[in-house]
Structure 1
Amino acid sequence: MRRLIPLVVLFVVVGRLAAAPPERTHDIVPADYATVNTINEIALSPDGKQVAYALATWDKKSDRRASELWVVSTDGKGKPTQLTSDRANDRHLKWAGDGKSIYVVSNRGKEAKAQVWRVPLDGKPEAVTNVKAGIINFDYAPKTDTVYFTTDATATDKDDFSALREKFGKIEYGHGTRTVSELFSVKKPGSEPEKVLADNRYIREFAVTEDGKRIAMVSAIDDTVVKSEGESRVDVWAAGKITTPPTDVYRAKASSPYAWLEGLAWNPDGTRYAFCAIHDAYPTEIIIGEEKDGKWATTRMNRNQVAAPSVREQQFHVRGYGSPLQWLDNESFSYLHEFGGYNTARTYALKDEATHAPDAEFRERHVVYAAHFQPGPHARIELVGDASGFPVLKFRSKETGEIVTLVDPNPHTADWKLPSIEHVTWKAPDGASVGGPLELPFGYKKGDKPLPLVVAIHGGPTTSSCNDQRFDAHNGRLYFAAKGYAVLCPNYRGSTGYGDKFLTDLIGNENDVDVKDIVAGIQHLIKEGIADPERIAVMGWSNGGYLTNCLITLKNPPVKIKAASSGAGILDTVAEWGFNDEPAYPIVFKKGLPWEQPDLYKKTSPTYGIGNVTTPTLIHVGGNDDRCPPGHSRMLYRALKEYKKVPVELNVYPGQPHGLGTLSFRTAKMEWDLAWFEKYLKK
């Protein structure tokens, strides 16, 4: 998948009653991006009376965003309490079994390596691990108060050339040594860890049962993406023995054998686990492992059985990357369900093999980023966004039925002139219904004069743009609408949340149906009088950058594209297979390897349409991007500057991976985008 300030004094909205919102007078500019705070993770205490959350803020001096640990009571009466303030990037929150402390991974101390820390509610953080190179992953068994963690190790494979590799050790070899994992347990801060297993495999993720007797692991032969996406599996460790439950349901018999595996979660008794098998080009599946008569079996969740279905619900997909699976009891679990640019937390019950909808208050026109439940006290929290503002933390007690907004991490945005957001639909040339969010400037009314249009194209493509407020430096959200542009975020063919056929139609049809869907959306807004046909621009990052490249290389395009911003975009799909870190992506979409499908690789490569380009193009890419390597961007730049003589700029961000990580680089990208489009979209 092609995907991707000093500590702010934070005031929060607590409880259900708040003052009338202030008049919206603030004009949003790229510099405001630094003030937007993000709740990254949430966790309910065992008694359901408190919520721990990781609040991420930007720091201009260090040029980075880091999260710190906070707690707030769920009764809606108290103010949040900050437990850490040293910008150690607290994450992976796990409440201790007694509810008196929280375990996190942090980068604090002199070495600032990732370690597990225990943060008491009434004291200072204590280091639980002290690994020189830092830990990689961790989990916690509450019934035994035991922390489990993994570290990296190296395995050497012996063959006829092992001695030669060892003799000339300064050469970088393609293979011969592998990064693998070792897994340890530790009872309390300062105690000596015990090695649990070292299987000469790389553990990408693991989950421990509440009693610590079983461990489920997503493992592969090494740490490379190529092995993870096609050969990783879920193993189960118990009593010193590793068992591999059947893999065919998510490999050999799956819609595609190249699934990413993530989201491992055990039921309370440790008899069942679940995880997501996330596919490029196909719907995400939830896989359930269950022990029966001493043997493990694996089955697939029934995605098509929805209790009390509606038209919208019949088009649902499991949200792929980052869907937080959690067992509510031994027979049911929650996950995130996506439909038409929205998503909600749903419950799947094994007894009737059906998905059940939550209460309507949590369902309609919301985008749920995270959810956490405590079945005992019947409590639920959700991090929820919508078109009215940035995400807030909400709590619902099943006993009282009350919904309380516990934390608004961005109260300072109450006077911002936020764009209006609506989900619009149009027809593709083949009759398919296509949709996506449309951002319009604050105060814009139907019948006002047409606006310059920015088409902001999401990555993936097996994902979607959501109908919520988000300040997105990579994909053009918010900052263009604030400048007076209409912004269309098309969920083109291959996007999730619109049904299986809509998703799989893209296989074998890249640089075709997706491009036609986007062009049809532009034409729809022109016809509606919203978009000025003389001022159309396109932009995107990752797969959005690829589609930007596809659009500007069209021969005789039905709409005139006056400016483009191509972010980390693929130009040649053979090179994508050869250089990118995830070669399964082109194999799936092109239905084979380059020598098996040469015509399809050529058809999907914008390279061969570069002669058609007349659009002034701004190019962005991270200097260390393995997902969409900078060679693609450099090739596009060379072609436009040296041969086509088309206005072009190439911005390579030193040291940056697939997504820009620093505040200064994200701000620079936004300002460059605005300046570029202002120049070339002027009347």
Structure 2
Amino acid sequence: MGRVNQLSALALMSMSLIASSSLASQRDHTITTDDFFSVAGMGGVQLSPDGRQAVWLESRWDKELDKAQRDLWLVNTKSSQSQRLTFTNESESSPQWSPDSQYIYYLGQQGDKEGKAPFNAKRQVFRFNVSTLQSVPVTKEKRGVKSYQLSQDGKQLYFTTSKESQDDDTWAGMRASHSAPQYGHGKQDTNPLYKLDLQHYTQTLLLDDDKVVWEFSVSNDGGKIARITTTDTELVFLEGWSNIEVFNTSDASNKVLEDSAWREQAPSPYGWLLGLSWHDDNQQLAFRIDYDGHPGQLFVNQTNQDKLLEISRPGDATLNGSNINWRPDSDEICYRGSDHGRVKLFCTEVDDGKQGDTRTVVNGDLVIGSYSFSHNGKKLAFSHNGLDHFYDMFIADANSKRAKYKRITNINPQVDTWVLPQISTVSWQAPDGSTVEGILDLPASYKPEDGPLPLIVQIHGGPTSATPYALQHRSYGRSTFTANGWALLSPNYRGSTGYGDKFLTDLVGHEHEIEVQDILAGVDYLIAEGIADKDKMAVMGWSNGGYLTNALIATTERFKAASSGAGVFDQRLQWILEDTPGHVINFMDGKQPWEDPQLYSHGSSLTYADKIKTPTLIHIGENDARVPLGHAQGLYRALRHYLNVPVELVVYPGEGHGLSKYQHRKAKMEWDQRWFNYYVLGIEPK
């Protein structure tokens, strides 16, 4: 048995969505594939210190450039008037305000590879004058700038660049004398740390210890610099062999923080350190660690006392992202958390090394992205993806316990004319009695009396992630299909974030089993409710969604078509080839392939490939390091050459784990639609 949250009020919800931004008669545009490329994204929200303006990074697809690229935009928080600041063909990143709110610093690229720095097509720090609307470079590094931070007083610029470092071991001489081959190790790019005096433009090397620096953060007084470091650039080092180091600028001493709390005592040794934030007192350092398959942790270290506090999360929330920040002029550490399809902003008091109250800063059905506080901590700017709009910027009172929020941008005005899907949360019972939830998208005009619809099950990746309760137009499923009369279910199966720690960790040691049953139970529920047509169903997903697509078609013949994107086919092969093998080990209950071969066999669709009868469309990036090409080739070989199952293999040249080119995204979306139309609905491809 199950229930539909809000489904009985679908028509009312649809009307409220329409009324929120425009009259119903104005919504007359049916969503198409091409509309995907009209959608602008918002990230990197930074509120000016005085709270009067905010900057963000706006990403847009460019057909001529065959890619998406980001530009800086500015908005007045009072008048809501906005303007574009940069117009390059490259993506800007990492905006930061000067303390007087007069300048915006950012990372950008200009010139060409043959030019001299700073116009050498390498990332440099630029400074944009808000009054004159002019931008100038402030660094000129030959190999570019990796990351930077402006000092609290705006007089110093700290940044990391890169240099090639060689291992000094027994075989270093052999590698050097035979440099033509490529070696598994022996050299890497390390990241020296510099300080640039912005008054006199003198540059000082602060620290060069041949470490790879993934992130750094300077205390407000400039006395301490925290770094996340490894000895090599391979990601395998970051997921379990990374350190947090604190460098004292006064005596050049360097201390590695004791790591037992997030290594030996952690649910997994393969954790990713991320997010560094200093409190105003220059003593408390907050940081995060994430684990595939296990809940992430948030710590506060008092560097002067060697005291470590782990922050407890509220309710069922799972930590989300690396953007943790101390709210200025307060003792609150703030962080985002996934919570039942929403993403909320929480702030927790820390007093004398002890945790105090935790509050939700802004209440409501929010999916918060990036956020930023004013210099006094009283005003908050954040991006939010709602039910009738994509990410836009909002302003709120950061001090209030029940802060009201105001929308100040509309970067996708074309959406005001779209006929939007009906979006609701649904829940059902898994075979073991657990409650599972998902996001259900239905055509705008659908009414329960209309009867069952063809169904697409669209599965999120991760799996330590979740599909949000928000409007999405994605190349992996949502919006286009509902516009063409399909129902679309996005299940937040076992292992998803935001439903409690047990719900998350139930998946460990049970891949290809417990989450498959969760998803099939959701399908059964929609059929029983008369929403889904049991004879017209398809399944699709990317990354772990592709893995689960493979798992589902190896478990059941109920789906008439499948689209498997960047999906694992064999867990041993994944351990061998992927760039983060700790991911596999975590879900294989911490076992290496030689320690429990049967568990790896059980978690692999290759083991059950002879059960696959579903016509399958396979997508893969040629250079995918996360789910390498061999998985797609193996699935294709099995289906085409040995099992005689209709199959098409689509390999995207030069692409990695995501599709970055305009033409590739469009090809994927159109292939999916034609494939499903043909094998599910019987419509001949054009």
TM-score of the alignment, normalized to the shorter chain, above 0.5: yes
Q: Which one-letter code corresponds to 2:148 in the other structure?
A: F
Mapped to 2, the partners of 1:232 and 1:681 lie a distance apart of 48
Spell out the pairing of 1:432-451 with structure 2 (5 A cutoff).
432-451=434-453
Aligned to 2:58: 55
- What secondary structure does 1:655 align onto? coil
Mapped to 2, the partners of 1:18 and 1:422 lie a distance apart of 19
Query: Of residues 560, 568, 585 in structure 1, which corresponds to 2:583?
Result: 585
Q: 1:680 to 1:411 in 2, by over 3 A?
A: same
Aligned to 2:76: 73
After superposition, the C-alpha distances for 1:395-418 in whole angstroms (9 at most, x for unaligned) are: 124689663211111011101111
- The answer to whether 1:39 aligns with 2:42 is yes
- Structure 1 residue ranges without an equivalent (≥5): 1-16, 307-313
CA contact (8 A) 2:341 2:467 kept: yes
Aligned to 2:128: 119
Q: 1:532 to 1:399 in 2, by over 3 A?
A: closer
Q: 1:109 to 1:20 in 2, by over 3 A?
A: farther
Q: 1:58 to 1:377 in 2, by over 3 A?
A: same
Q: Which moved more, 1:655-664 or 1:170-179?
A: 170-179
CA contact (8 A) 2:570 2:631 kept: yes
Aligned to 1:141: 151
Q: 1:18 to 1:598 in 2, by over 3 A?
A: closer
After superposition, the C-alpha distances for 1:268-297 in whole angstroms (9 at most, x for unaligned) are: 2221111110111111111111123xx433
- Structure 2 residue ranges without an equivalent (≥5): 1-19, 113-119
Q: 1:356 to 1:168 in 2, by over 3 A?
A: same
CA contact (8 A) 1:381 1:393 kept: yes
Count of residues in correspondence between the two structures? 648
Q: 1:261 to 1:377 in 2, by over 3 A?
A: closer
- What secondary structure does 1:288 align onto? strand
Spell out the pairing of 1:561-580 with structure 2 (5 A cutoff).
561-580=559-578
TM-score, length of structure 1 as denominator length = 0.92
Aligned to 2:171: 161
Mapped to 1, the partners of 2:628 and 2:498 lie a distance apart of 29
CA contact (8 A) 1:511 1:603 kept: yes
After superposition, the C-alpha distances for 1:472-511 in whole angstroms (9 at most, x for unaligned) are: 11x2121211221111101111111111111100110000
Aligned to 1:310: none
- The answer to whether 1:380 aligns with 2:360 is no
CA contact (8 A) 1:249 1:299 kept: no
Q: Which one-letter code corresponds to 2:605 in the other structure?
A: P
Q: 1:538 to 1:490 in 2, by over 3 A?
A: same
Mapped to 1, the partners of 2:21 and 2:31 lie a distance apart of 24
Aligned to 1:481: 482
After superposition, the C-alpha distances for 1:224-275 in whole angstroms (9 at most, x for unaligned) are: 1100001101111112221112111111111111111111111122211111
Q: Which moved more, 1:597-606 or 1:438-447?
A: 438-447
Mapped to 2, the partners of 1:19 and 1:483 lie a distance apart of 22
Mapped to 2, the partners of 1:52 and 1:323 lie a distance apart of 16
Aligned to 1:210: 220
* Superposed CA RMSD: 1.8
Aligned to 2:109: 107
Q: Which one-letter code corresponds to 2:613 in the other structure?
A: T
Mapped to 2, the partners of 1:101 and 1:446 lie a distance apart of 55
Aligned to 1:541: 542
- The answer to whether 1:601 aligns with 2:600 is yes
Mapped to 2, the partners of 1:634 and 1:112 lie a distance apart of 36
- What secondary structure does 2:448 align onto? coil
Aligned to 1:348: 348
Aligned to 1:178: 188
Q: Which moved more, 1:566-575 or 1:58-67?
A: 58-67
Q: 1:363 to 1:553 in 2, by over 3 A?
A: same
Spell out the pairing of 1:232-271 with structure 2 (5 A cutoff).
232-239=242-249, 240-271=252-283
- The answer to whether 1:553 aligns with 2:554 is yes
Q: 1:59 to 1:618 in 2, by over 3 A?
A: same
Spell out the pairing of 1:348-427 with structure 2 (5 A cutoff).
348-351=348-351, 353-354=355-356, 356-358=358-360, 362-374=362-374, 376=376, 378-397=378-397, 403-427=405-429
Mapped to 1, the partners of 2:277 and 2:596 lie a distance apart of 39
Q: Which moved more, 1:176-185 or 1:323-332?
A: 323-332
Aligned to 1:460: 462
Spell out the pairing of 1:290-369 with structure 2 (5 A cutoff).
290-292=302-304, 295-303=305-313, 306=314, 314-319=315-320, 321-329=321-329, 331-351=331-351, 353-354=355-356, 356-358=358-360, 362-369=362-369
Q: Which one-letter code corresponds to 2:406 in the other structure?
A: V
Q: 1:441 to 1:179 in 2, by over 3 A?
A: same
- What secondary structure does 1:376 align onto? coil
After superposition, the C-alpha distances for 1:374-401 in whole angstroms (9 at most, x for unaligned) are: 2616111121122222122111246896
Mapped to 2, the partners of 1:601 and 1:355 lie a distance apart of 43
Spell out the pairing of 1:495-506 with structure 2 (5 A cutoff).
495-506=496-507
CA contact (8 A) 1:35 1:57 kept: yes
Q: Which one-letter code corresponds to 2:609 in the other structure?
A: I
- What secondary structure does 1:315 align onto? coil
CA contact (8 A) 2:287 2:324 kept: no
- What secondary structure does 1:371 align onto? strand
CA contact (8 A) 1:346 1:355 kept: no
Mapped to 1, the partners of 2:324 and 2:413 lie a distance apart of 27
- What secondary structure does 2:336 align onto? strand
Mapped to 1, the partners of 2:25 and 2:157 lie a distance apart of 47
- What secondary structure does 1:284 align onto? strand
Mapped to 2, the partners of 1:354 and 1:635 lie a distance apart of 53
Mapped to 2, the partners of 1:513 and 1:495 lie a distance apart of 12
After superposition, the C-alpha distances for 1:573-595 in whole angstroms (9 at most, x for unaligned) are: 01111100001011111121000
Mapped to 2, the partners of 1:398 and 1:161 lie a distance apart of 57
- What secondary structure does 2:306 align onto? strand
Q: Which moved more, 1:33-42 or 1:322-331?
A: 322-331
Mapped to 2, the partners of 1:175 and 1:535 lie a distance apart of 51
CA contact (8 A) 2:74 2:84 kept: yes
Mapped to 1, the partners of 2:670 and 2:31 lie a distance apart of 13
- What secondary structure does 1:673 align onto? helix
Q: Which one-letter code corresponds to 1:644 in the other structure?
A: L
- What secondary structure does 2:161 align onto? strand
**TM superposition shift of 1:299:** 2.5
**TM superposition shift of 1:300:** 1.3
Aligned to 1:655: 654
Aligned to 1:8: none
CA contact (8 A) 2:80 2:409 kept: no
Q: Which one-letter code corresponds to 2:631 in the other structure?
A: H
TM-score, length of structure 2 as denominator length = 0.91
Q: Which one-letter code corresponds to 2:677 in the other structure?
A: E
After superposition, the C-alpha distances for 1:113-164 in whole angstroms (9 at most, x for unaligned) are: 1111111102311111111222111112132521111122222222332222
Mapped to 1, the partners of 2:200 and 2:650 lie a distance apart of 47
Mapped to 1, the partners of 2:110 and 2:327 lie a distance apart of 32
Mapped to 2, the partners of 1:404 and 1:131 lie a distance apart of 41
CA contact (8 A) 1:479 1:670 kept: no
Q: 1:22 to 1:402 in 2, by over 3 A?
A: farther
Q: Which one-letter code corresponds to 1:571 in the other structure?
A: F
Aligned to 2:12: none
Aligned to 2:664: 665
- The answer to whether 1:129 aligns with 2:139 is yes
CA contact (8 A) 1:116 1:129 kept: yes
Mapped to 2, the partners of 1:343 and 1:179 lie a distance apart of 36
- The answer to whether 1:514 aligns with 2:477 is no
Q: 1:22 to 1:243 in 2, by over 3 A?
A: farther
